[in-house]
Structure 1
Amino acid sequence: MIRVLLVDDQALFRVAIGTLIDLEDDIEVVGQAADGLQALRLVDETEPDVVVMDVRMPRMDGVETTRRLLAAGAARRTTPRVIILTTFTFDQQALRAVRLGASGFLLKDVDPDLLVAAIRTAHRGGSLIAPGQLEDIFEQGGREPAELPPEFSRLTDRERAVLAHITRGLSNAEIAEREFVSESTVKGHVSSVLTKLGLRDRTQIVVFAYDHGVMAPREE
């Protein structure tokens, strides 16, 4: 079962989403919180796999909650994935949460089936936002690429190729076909990239690539 914590200051919204999620055989809602402070406490009590959280809340918003939640990850047995909910497509607050480690963001009026699919995707470490879309949104901030950290030099040529494929939005199966290796080999390379760069999931690989100017050119 995928354990989910819902965090939103609107009780009716939480109840409605929770009811829909509980209809799924492989997902269960283990708690609900009205703000970030309550969410942090419930994460320790319920140990969710995924936190679905509104970006704007009283007392502590979704950005600060994401920062504290993921910063404290080393002290916990498991660190949940975070999905941010927002009412704006180009929401800089939601993007801040993604840079801090959230797996992505969704509009609050998202189709319930897509939300359920997003929970499953986040749980297995997938990206919720197409790399091209994420790049377009980040470019609105106008940030200059940062200097590559020393850890990047530790990547092998194959791992750099896998990273480039990920920034194009390719799945493990598609990467395996391009690189003429098995899908399990690709999974191993992805895991190695994450470990060497200190990243959590594919979304963070794309964020890293954009922030350091190593996004692969988009294919026509």
Structure 2
Amino acid sequence: MRPVRVLVADDQELVRSALRLVIGRRADLVVAGEAADGEEAVAAAFALRPDVVLMDVRMPGLTGVEATGRILGDWPHADPRPRVLMLTTFDLDEYVHAALRAGATGFVLKDISPDRLAEAVRVVAAGESALAPTVTRRLIGAVAALPPALLAGPPRPGPERGPGEETGTGTGTGTEREGTGRLGGLTARELEVLVLVARGLSNTRIARSLGLSEAGVKSRMNRILTRLGLENRVQAAILAHEEGLVDPARVPPRPPR
């Protein structure tokens, strides 16, 4: 299996050097290129086609959030767009929301350990979301105030349901409400997966919890995104919270500093 190719975008050379070391010491990760500002990040992403862009939020000229929007919105190639993992010293809500609206798949802080950063890159490359614990808690707490644009767009047509996949109530995940509104097209099993995604579980943990294979979870997650017209797991998690599928009391509290 080829290593995950990472584009490092940060305006501080010292930070880029540190990130190169973190990534370069992992056999399954490799630095594909670097960028010192948003414009360079866009050009490098288009030229190098990395799997993941490790993007600083605050950069001169074109910000990391704006660069993310350009990369994902104007992607000129037929191959899949890269995943974007935002990296910053700030966990302020406006940056989190702006980054997610731009299409970022993850958001971590610069005080993260090297091992956790490497794992976040792997998680994002695999199509899952990576959010710092403090960011996750604040994001969930502010869901009601999120702009509608984050979840804009009508649901796209999805695949037909297989035999025995009837829309209904979820079981085993703490929700017994029937899918209605935007969620009305989901099967009972897809609702179960959606609830666990909203609680921050990885595909591995979801598979273990529901007695499914990881491939089965990924397949259902793809169908959920298609049926709801969403781009990524983060947006799906936000919608689940907006629809009341997740009990706020079940959300893990912010860890002590």
Read off the aligned partner of 1:125 and give its amino acid letter: G
SS of residue in 2 equivalent to 1:110: coil
* 1:131–1:206 Cα contact (<8 Å) kept: no
Aligned CA-pair RMSD? 2.7
TM-score for the superposition, normalised by structure 2 = 0.74
Are residue 82 (structure 1) and residue 89 (structure 2) matched? Answer: no
Query: Which segments of 5 or more consecutive residues in structure 2 lack a partner in the other structure?
Result: 156-181, 252-257
Cα offset, 1:145, TM superposition: 8.5
Between 1 and 2, higher relative CO (CA 8 Å, sep ≥ 6) is seen in 1
Question: Hey, what's the Cα distance between the residues in 2 that align with 1:128 and 1:144?
Answer: 19
Question: Hey, what's the Cα distance between the residues in 2 that align with 1:58 and 1:168?
Answer: 35
Question: Hey, what's the Cα distance between the residues in 1 that align with 2:236 and 2:143?
Answer: 18
Question: Hey, what's the Cα distance between the residues in 1 that align with 2:147 and 2:95?
Answer: 20
Match of 2:236 among 190, 205, 213: 205
1:116 matched residue in structure 2? 118
Cα offset, 1:28, TM superposition: 0.8
1:191 matched residue in structure 2? 222
Cα offset, 1:45, TM superposition: 1.0
Query: Which segments of 5 or more consecutive residues in structure 1 lack a partner in the other structure?
Result: none
1:216 matched residue in structure 2? 246
Cα offset, 1:149, TM superposition: 7.0
CA offsets 1:112-137 (integer angstroms, 9 cap, x no match): 11111111111001221278952533
Q: Number of matched residues?
A: 219
Are residue 62 (structure 1) and residue 64 (structure 2) matched? Answer: yes
2:128 matched residue in structure 1? 126
- Who wins on radius of gyration, i.e. which is larger? 2
* Runs of 4 or more above 4 Å deviation: 130-133, 144-150
SS of residue in 2 equivalent to 1:56: coil
SS of residue in 1 equivalent to 2:55: strand
1:164 matched residue in structure 2? 195
Question: Hey, what's the Cα distance between the residues in 2 that align with 1:93 and 1:142?
Answer: 17
Cα offset, 1:168, TM superposition: 1.5
* 1:101–1:204 Cα contact (<8 Å) kept: no
Q: 1:43 to 1:58 in 2, by over 3 A?
A: same
TM-score for the superposition, normalised by structure 1 = 0.85
CA offsets 1:35-93 (integer angstroms, 9 cap, x no match): 11111111111110000011011110011111111112475422111111111223422
Question: Hey, what's the Cα distance between the residues in 2 that align with 1:104 and 1:89?
Answer: 12
